[in-house]
Chain A
Amino acid sequence: MSIGLPAHLRPQAVSRALTLAGHVAGLVCLIAAAGMVVAVQAANPQLILWPAVIALLPLIVMLAVLDRYRSMFFSVSYLIIGGASVYWFALTVMSEFEPLTGTDSFVLSLPRIALMFVGGVGVGIGASIAWCAIGLVIAEIAIVTAAVQTGVDLAPDGTSLSSFVGVVVALLLLGASQRMVRRAQPSIHRAARDEHLSTLRYGIEAKAAAVMHDTILGHLAAISAAPEGALSSDLQLQMERDLEILVGEEWLTVGSPAVDVQARAEWRQSQLFLAIQESRRLGLVVDISGDIAAAGRLGPARSSALGLAVKQCLINVLKHSGTDVAEVVVYGSGSDVSVMVIDSGRGFSETETGSDRLGLRQSVRRRMEAVGGEVQVWSSPGRGTSVMIRVPVPTGEGDTPLADALEVTL
């Protein structure tokens, strides 16, 4: 978020930026002063003005050093070396250059201004003004000394004085204007932080909702669709696991991004994902949730069979259910991977299924049985259809279904 500098860093930032700006303005003045000397020297070869240009070099070098290393030592050095340079410059110009009318000449204003922009150390408007004043006074002393030695008229220099006044006024106004920033900026930064945390919480809530959806709601749906009597061992196991997790474990611990990225890449290459993508292209809206990483644990044959079976289920949703929304939920357990395709469409009764339900029998059930899997269908007219496809995992690896499900969300 580009919402600017916080109030506590502002005086430092403004002071640093002012120093840098002053150094550049000072450099322009010094180059201009050197340019003026060179111009006069070129027009009057009999004069010996070039030493004045040499006099400016230490000042330029010190300015560059000061710009790089802002410290008390270099600030004071700049003033001392700068004072000597200005004296040498003024002395050369005054003794060689006849048309110079007095100490208020523009060519002398320029190094004055350069010395004024020493910047110096210390934060705050007061420190900046003090350094400017010290620089200007040292330059003035150097120039007056040279003038006294060469007999040049003393005259107050309007250019450097008005520059000084301008800088001081700007600094004071800048200082006064920071009050509003001090008031508003902290709350804007707080808003940025709250926004970040709120986004984070929203993500965790979405994850929690997905987890709840994939487990509790899935199992509730399974119960409401199951026949009366004994509980299937699978369902019993899943409910027990749900309870364990609800009561005990930390649900929403966050997985490392590396795991997420890898799982996601595997998922995108799985036949299951391709099947879903294909049905999406046909116009079906498919919500995916659950342990997508589990799909990557299947070998090629099972993965392919699962992909084709799910595709057939999704095509059935499109063709028969009267809705264009389906959910695909992936569960992974140590021994198998289950995929549930759920729609809330018109549903059907097993006894009334005609030849058009061949797809479910052939493409789904037979295909899955061929790879050792099984298919369960729950449906009743008006209450949608859920197809659960279970495929065994080739080797007995991994056994943390729900915990994994919590790690990866889409």
Chain B
Amino acid sequence: MIAREQTVQQSDPVGALAARSLTLLGCLGMVVYAIVMTVVNSADIDNVGVAIVGIGMIVGAATLIAVAANPLRAPLNRGVHIAAMGLGVFGLAFNAASMWQGNAFIRDDWGPPMLGFISLLMVPYRPPREIAILGALAAVFAGFVAALEVGILSTDLPVMIYVIIAATPVLAMSFGGAVFARAVLRMVHRWHSRASSAVSALANERKAGLARSVQQDRVTILNRDVVPFFAAVLERGGLLGSDRTRASEISESIRRLMVAEVDRSWLDLVVEQAAGATRGPATEAVHDPERLAVAMSTDQRTAVRAAIVAIFGHPAFEPRGFDVRISRTSAGYATTIRADFAAGEGGIRADLAPYLAVLRVVFSHLHADFGPPTLTVRFSYDKH
């Protein structure tokens, strides 16, 4: 499993998934802003070619972020952040170079806000500290480029003014974004600890009831054979030859039942319950001969449970076409969930996207393919 980072995407995958549309619009906004501001400042530009290269850098950064923010590629890693910021920094440099001789105002250059924008787009995906640090470095660079430009500008103002003008948007957006990410993470953690204690309280409340129901199950089994047998033997006060055979028989049947119970894992029960709640197949849908499902952590079980419940609850789901297979591979345990659907791809993918996003966080190497009518989700995990 990939090491979990302190990012919104890892702590609140569904929230980060919801932010994806914002990310895409933000990427588009970056490109539009760079083009519009270049056109607005066209009078200042003395090298159109260099200006276009600058815009190209921003198109590259925006494309990179838009692609990497795809939930099926999650998590978005530090390399993407550095690469996007690097492209932004080059974009800023080319933009400044295109107006080297004639820049009237540094404040209407698109470079510095663009770097701040890249920081903001990283808020759902990267740790707050990284957003702040890379943002600060980018601000230093923006200030440095501005200081170089000042020599060319006809101005009496101190260089520091231009440095501040260039660095402020980057710093304000990067630090603001980092604080936003940190606040969300803190609230997720606070909620998590509160929710855990609430679940424990609920569990304590239910414990007695669960114990009673388990006992009831057992007593039902025992009342059938053991209780009458013991009662008869005790009443007689002695053993007959047939009693010994009968004892072995009963013992054998109880053992068989216990073995069958032990062989059923939580995954069998989840599928059974999900199928029971709708219609369709029972546990033969689960192929886990080595009981590898037991090795999943609580988080992983929760994610799988939620996904299976969502699949069975989907109106287009065809219950006959469902199975889960878990097998051992050299790298760990590989799981494949296959589900058939009656409707087209778009709706199903979108409906199940939040559950896939959660699976993506807790498992490594998640692949989801929809070759109608079958959705195939593959992922792997290590021994817990």
Contact = CB atoms under 8 A, between A and B. Distances in A.
B369 interface: no
B187 interface: yes
Given A4-B11, A180-B354, A228-B240, A192 B302 contact: yes
A36 interface: yes
Interface stretch (A128-136, A205-213, A333-341, A369-377): A205-213
Contacts of B261: 205, 209
Contacts of B244: 223-226, 228
Contacts of A251: 211, 215, 218
Nearest to A14: B184
A217 interface: yes
Interface stretch (B80-88, B246-254, B327-335): B246-254
A154 interface: no
B344 interface: no
Contact of B302 (A1, A35, A216, A229): A1
B252 to A, nearest CB: 9
A63 to B, nearest CB: 13
B39 interface: no
Contacts of B173: 25
B227 A29 contact: no
Contact of A10 (B11, B15, B243, B361): B15
A301 to B, nearest CB: 35
A35 B160 contact: yes
B161 interface: yes
A152 B184 CA distance: 43
B176 A24 contact: yes
Interface stretch (B47-55, B95-103, B228-236): B228-236
A40 B161 contact: yes
A16 B172 CA distance: 18
A361 interface: no
A280 B175 CA distance: 58
A64 interface: no
Interface string B42-70: 00000000000000000000000000000
A17 to B, nearest CB: 4
B254 A212 contact: yes
Interface string A19-34: 0111111001100100
B224 to A, nearest CB: 12
Interface string A208-243: 110011001101110111111111000010011011
A29 B171 CA distance: 9
B144 interface: no
A1 B298 contact: yes
Interface residues of A, number: 94
Contacts of B305: 191, 194-195
Given A40-B161, A191-B306, A224-B248, A24 B175 contact: yes
A394 B45 CA distance: 100
A410 interface: no
B279 to A, nearest CB: 19
Contact of B309 (A158, A177, A191): A191
Given A158-B108, A209-B258, A212-B218, A204 B211 contact: yes
Given A25-B173, A192-B199, A213 B302 contact: no
A198 interface: yes
A163 to B, nearest CB: 9
B267 to A, nearest CB: 10
Contacts of B12: 2-5
Contacts of A239: 230, 233-234
A341 to B, nearest CB: 18
A231 B233 contact: yes
Interface string A171-204: 0011011111101110111111111111111101
B215 A174 contact: no
A70 to B, nearest CB: 12
A182 to B, nearest CB: 9
A159 interface: yes
Given A4-B11, A5-B187, A188 B239 contact: no
Contacts of B203: 196-197, 200
B268 to A, nearest CB: 11
Contacts of A247: 227
B176 A188 contact: no
Nearest to A242: B230
A243 B230 contact: yes
A201 B239 CA distance: 37
A239 B178 CA distance: 68
A123 interface: no
Nearest to A209: B258
Contact of A110 (B168, B179, B195): B168
Interface in B13-29: 13-15, 17-22, 25
A141 interface: no
A231 B211 contact: no
A254 B25 contact: no
Nearest to B116: A25
B250 A220 contact: yes
A28 B172 contact: yes
Nearest to A238: B230
Nearest to B251: A220
Given A10-B15, A110-B168, A180-B18, A188 B233 contact: no
Kindly list the 10 A-B residue pairs having the minimum CB-CB distance in the complex, ordered from nearest: A4-B12, A184-B354, A25-B176, A191-B306, A17-B183, A21-B180, A252-B211, A39-B160, A223-B247, A220-B251
14 contacts: A13-B183, A17-B183, A20-B183, A21-B183, A23-B179, A106-B107, A158-B108, A177-B19, A181-B18, A188-B355, A213-B258, A224-B247, A227-B239, A251-B215
Given A188-B354, A220-B254, 5 more contacts: A3-B303, A32-B167, A191-B309, A208-B214, A213-B258
Interface of B: 4, 10-15, 17-22, 25, 107-108, 156-158, 160-161, 164-165, 167-168, 171-173, 175-180, 183-184, 187-188, 191-192, 195, 199, 202-203, 206-208, 210-212, 214-215, 218-219, 222-223, 226-227, 230-231, 233-234, 237-241, 243-245, 247-248, 250-251, 254-255, 258, 261-262, 266, 269-270, 298-299, 301-303, 305-306, 309-310, 313, 353-355, 358, 361
